[in-house]
Each structure stands twice: as structure tokens, then as C-alpha cells.
Chain A
Amino acid sequence: MKRRYPTTLRLIVRPLFVLLFCSSLVVFGTAQNPANTEGRGVLRLRVRVKDGEATRGLARKRFFLVRGTLEQNRSWIQESQTQAPVSRDCYYRTAGASQQLISWLKENDCESVYCREIRQDEWEGQNAVPEFRQAVQAGESEFKNPDVARKWFTVNLAPEIRDGFYRINRERLKRLLAAAESTSGAAVQSVMTDRNGTAYFTDLEPGVFVLTNLLPTEMTSTFVSWNCEVQIKAGDLGTERPFLVMNRQERNVKCVGVEKPLPVCESGTGQ
């Protein structure tokens, strides 16, 4: 004799069985493969710039990868392009830096005083940088140790001179990063290029990304902004040709930067 359940029971219980059975399959399946890392990609960047007559790898510059297409990320890209970037020289002039310090930064191609150790002739003597001399003298009186005073000279520099340029750029970067993360709905990844201008983004989900430097990169006489679409494929190890990024349209270049002249500083001395 065939058993028959009431209709209401059949309607409720059978779908429940099916649902639970499917859930158990999914859960067991996940338990067997808790970390599925296959099917992710790598992006190998090669950034080269033509600066004056020379072409070189762009060393130690940060690049970002934002999920989505250029169109999907249009809002923060436009925002980044409307902000007037501050050049290094203009910043330090505005901050009241001495001409010697501005020259020191320029000669050493540094963005801040943290760039390299200072030499004795740079903190004492006729050619000394006044900010360095004052900071070392303050350190000597505080620490009673000339070696510590020299090595730790940055602790006695005015904050605007010490890391003010970094801080204003970082604030702008933070705002753009927040906008990019909010628009794309995903965390933004970043890497810095090495001395040859090479950098790797690893463990990327396949899909379309925007490769960007967010803040324009300062060259000798121009700012360069890069915003390009990149397609990441599953299993790409980045062993093929690198993704070539440049500020000029040349053969094999996949991302060409937009250049704008450096602004003229308020003091009129400019670059």
C-alpha cells in the first residue's frame, strides 16, 4: 500500500530535504578545498620613462590596481585629474626651506630629507644646509652624543621640512584610495617599482582592472598620470612579455601616460 503524506507536509518537507542535501554537498565540497588559489593571475609591470633625452626605468614609484573598467572608475579618475598636483620645489619653497636645502633635494633627486644620510660638509662648514646644521646642533645639545645627533638629525627638523611633502601627498592619496575603493567595491592593491622600473602584482582575481599611479609622478619638467585598463587572466604567471608602461607612445607600450607641465612656483623661481 502506497503511503501518502498530507499535501502540506509534502510541500514543506521535500524542499527542505533537497535544500539540506544540496547544502551538505556544498559544505563538504568547500571543506575539501579550503584554499582554492589556482586560477589567479600575476601582472608584471615594466615602467619606463623618457625624461629629456634619456629613457630609463622608473624606479621606486607606487602603482595601484583598482577593480573594474575605466568607465566604471570614471568618478575618481576625473577627481584625480582635476586636483592640481604640488611639485617638490614649489612645496619646499612654500614651506620656507632654504635655497641650499632645495638644491640638496634636487641634486640628490630626493623627495624628502630621509632620502640619504647627510655628510659632514652638509651640516657644518660654508656649504652646509642651514636646516641640517641647526638640527645637528640641537641634537648635540640634547643627546650629548655627536654621532646620535648626526644620525638622528631629522628628529630636530621642523615637521613641514621633515615630512610635510610626504604628508600632503599622502592625504591626497588617502582620499583617492577611499574613492577608488568605494567606486570599485574592492580593496585597491599597490606595489612599488624596483630600480629597474619592474613591479609585480600577484594573486590577482581574473578580470578587468585599472592600473594607475593615482598621484601624478613628477619628472624633470612634467607630471605624468597613468590610468589604463588591464585584463588579468586566470593562471597568468607574468612570465610572458611584461605590461609595458611609458610616458610616450612607442612600440609594445600598453599604457601611455598623460603628461602635463610642472606648475610655476608662486615665488616665481620655478623649476
Chain B
Amino acid sequence: MLQHGTAKSYQSQFRILLIRLCILSTVVLTAFLLCSSVALGQRRPQRTPVRRTAAADYSRFLHTTPKHRQPCNTCHKVPTRNWQEASSFPDIADYPDHAACVSCHRRQFFRGARPVICTVCHTTVSPRADERLAFRNPKHARQFTIEFPHDRHQDVIAINRRSERTGVFRRVSFYPQEPEKKYNNCAICHEPSPDFTVPPAGGWLDGYTPDALTFKTVPRDHASCFSCHYKTQTPTREECSGCHKLGVTESMVALLPKRISMKFKHDGGGEKRNHVQECSSCHINITKAQFARGLKPDVPITSCTECHNKDGLRLDLIGELVKIDKDRGFVCTYCHTSDVGKRDAPASHYMISGRPPMTRSDVK
């Protein structure tokens, strides 16, 4: 009896132990999952998931559809027949011919008076109407991401030994110091753009209109690619996947780059125009970037504080940090518009000023 009772007691204690173990394991597992999701959430950019419907939607062409994953030149011809009318260089300036679609979608082509499949390319669905939408259609999300190794291209185009012959920013574009010789540099692809002086919806923030030279463009067509990668230099014009990587998600490309220091002017820097530098003098991460994916044209604060935080010269940065010390609601305006200027200054701004990082909530 006693032995039986002891065994029962052990059994119940064992059960309690098991329950405790289960609870603790659950807590650990939950914490782990929480941690993973936090980390992943920080790394992944927000994107619209690809629309997947049970019934096929023939008004949208998706490159992710398994049967659409043929070699690109199955449908796209480079250059297209219309390139001389539509472009200043041999380019893909139009949608593929009907044959590319009809070979599989004959049934959808001849369904009803206004087949929905025609709306992928045509503005009007009618046998007599031939007008097509702009190629590529800017209203559609992008199904591909672009791979562009900045480091390799810099190694190829930008290597030359004499420092005095490199290009510099001028008022209108990127000219070399010797006007008759135009050395290649970042300006092959990145130029000032008048598009950026058009105010965004809702107007410019704080009424501050940025100078045209505040922004530089990114390539929106194949002009700067095909000038080298056309026939034999791989990836050639027919090796689309060398640069265009099919994404699992679709994304809209922002035409305006995100600016942190909206008030910075590339041709500024006082009478001496100290801002007129080579691009990579400030955009220090570009020279090591192997991909365009996730690339940010970020500039470290050290590029600014060489001049803007020097005793006896200028104390623009520390001056504003001191004002935050006195008033937590102070908005930094020297470099930033109010959307950025009202945020907490990043740790780098404090550290470069020889102060411990803090937030506005720390101000008493």
C-alpha cells in the first residue's frame, strides 16, 4: 500500500513537472517567434503581395505565371520595330506581337465582343483600334527588381589616375574641368532632373521649394545600359535576366527619391561651393554596393560635419542639438524640413558632437 501510494505521489509530481516544462517551453518558443518576427519585420520592405486569384484574371499579365516564364526573347524583340519613332536609341518600345499571346490564349482572344485580354496592351478593345498603352505601363506595379553592381561599373568606367581630371558638379550637369573632354562618372546615369522641381501632391513641405540640383535621376530606360550592353558585352540586350530579376512580389517605384536633408544643395557650400565634390566623396557606401537592391544613397554625418561642426568655423549641428536641450519641441531646420526636423536626432549626430545620444523625451 505504502509503495503504491508513493508511486502515485511520484506520478502526480511528475505530471506537475511535465506541465511546468510545457509552460516554460511555450514561453521560450513564443519569445523566439516574437524575436524572429521583429527581426524579419525590420529587414523586409513592405510590398504588395502578388495578386493570386482562383479564377485567372486576363486583364493583367503576370510574368510569375509558370507558363509565362519562357526566355524573354520568346515574346520580346529587342529592338522593337517602332524604336525609331518611339525612342532615340534602339530599345524595347512596344508590347510583343499578337503571336506571342495567341499561341496559348486563342480562346481568350475570341471570347465575346470585347475580350478582356486585349486590355493588357490596348487602350480600346475593338478589332479596328490599334492604339496601345504606354510601354511599359507606369500605372502597373513592377514585377521585376533590378540588379546593378555599382562596384563593378565604377571599376570599369571610373578608373583613371589623375585626380585633377575627374568630373565635378556644375550648374546644369556633370562637366569635366576640361570642357572638351567629358570624363565618365556617376553622371552617365544620374543627372539633375527638372521633374523633381514639380511639387508633390499637397505641395512642398514647409513651403520650401528645393533647387533643381537637389535631386539626381535614376535611369528609367535602357539608354545608359544598352550603350555598352548591347551585342557582346554581357548581359546583352537579349539577356534580360542579367539585370531584371523576377520578384515574388510587385512594387511601385517611387519617382522621387526619399530625401532626409531636403535643404542640402549639391552645388552649394558658400562662395567656394564646397559641396561640389565627386559623388563618392559623400555617398561613401555606393562604391562597395554589389547590388542596387536595398541600396540607399545615404551620406554619413561626417561628410557634413567636416565643415558644419567645427569650432571657429561653423557649429550648425551642435547649435541645433543645444536648442533641443532647451526645448524638446525644437524643429531642426538647417538641413531638414519639419517632417525630419521634429524627429529625435540620430545617435550619430550626438556622437560626432562628442555627446551621449539622447531622445527628446529625455529633455526635462
- In the bound complex, what is the Cα–Cα distance between A144 and B90 (angstroms)? 10
Contact A59 B166 (CB under 8 A): yes
Q: Is the CB of A191 within 8 A of B288?
A: yes
B351 within 8 A of A: yes
Query: Does A50 interact with chain B (Cβ within 8 Å)?
Result: no
Q: Which of A5, A110, A116, A192 is in CB contact (< 8 Å) with B176?
A: A116
* Contact residues of A between 171 and 212, Cβ < 8 Å to B: 189-192, 194-200, 202
Chain A CB within 8 A of B72 CB: no
| B143 interfacial contact with A, CB 8 Å | no
Determine whether the beta carbon of B31 is less than 8 Å from that of A24. Answer: yes
Residue of A nearest to B20 (CB): A17
Among B35, B38, B159, the one with the most A-chain Cβ atoms within 10 Å of its Cβ is B159
Cβ-based interface call for A96 (8 A): no
* B34 interface residue (CB < 8 Å to A): yes
* Chain B interface residue number, banded: 35 or more
Extra pairs beyond A24-B28, A56-B162 (13, CB < 8 Å): A9-B14, A27-B28, A34-B42, A109-B162, A112-B157, A116-B182, A148-B88, A148-B89, A152-B228, A152-B230, A155-B233, A166-B155, A189-B288
Q: Which of A59, A60, A116, A154 is B227 in contact with, Cβ under 8 Å?
A: A154
The interface size of chain A toward B, counting residues with CB under 8 Å, comes to 70
Q: Kindly name the residue among A3, A20, A59, A144 whose own CB sees the greatest number of chain B CB atoms within 10 A.
A: A59
Report the number of A-B residue pairs with Cβ-Cβ less than 8 Å.
183
Contacts from A to B (Cβ < 8 Å): 3, 5-6, 9, 13, 16-17, 20-21, 23-24, 27-28, 30-31, 34-35, 38, 42, 44, 56-62, 108-112, 114-117, 119, 143-145, 147-148, 151-152, 154-156, 159, 162-163, 166, 170, 189-192, 194-200, 202, 218-219, 235, 237-239
A20/B25 in contact, CB under 8 A:
yes
Q: Is the CB of B157 within 8 A of A13?
A: no
Q: Is there contact, CB below 8 Å, between B42 and A35?
A: yes
Q: Shortest CB–CB separation between residue A165 and chain B, in angstroms?
A: 10
B123 at interface by CB-CB < 8 Å: no
- Known interface pairs A59-B160, A109-B161. Does A28 touch B285 (Cβ–Cβ under 8 Å)? no
> In the complex, how many angstroms separate the beta carbon of B3 from the nearest chain A beta carbon?
13
Closest Cβ–Cβ distance, residue A260 to chain B (whole Å): 17
Question: Is B144 part of the binding interface, using a Cβ–Cβ cutoff of 8 Å?
Answer: no
Using known A-B contacts A6-B10, A24-B24, A166-B155, determine if residue A34 contacts B38 with beta carbons closer than 8 Å. yes
Q: Residues of A contacting B287 with CB < 8 Å?
A: 62, 190-192, 199
- Evaluate whether A27 and B31 lie within 8 angstroms (CB atoms) in the complex, with A116-B184, A154-B228 already known: yes
- Picked from A35, A60, A152, A154, the residue with its CB within 8 Å of the CB of B160 is A60
Question: Using an 8 Å CB-CB cutoff, how does the interface string of B10-38 with A read, 1 for contact, 0 for none?
Answer: 10011001001100110110011011001
Least distance between B286 CB and chain A CB atoms (Å): 9
A117 vs B284: C-alpha distance when bound (angstroms): 25
Whether A60 and B231, one on each chain, are in contact in the complex, defined by CB atoms closer than 8 angstroms, is: no
Q: Which residues of A contact B277 (CB under 8 A)?
A: 194-195
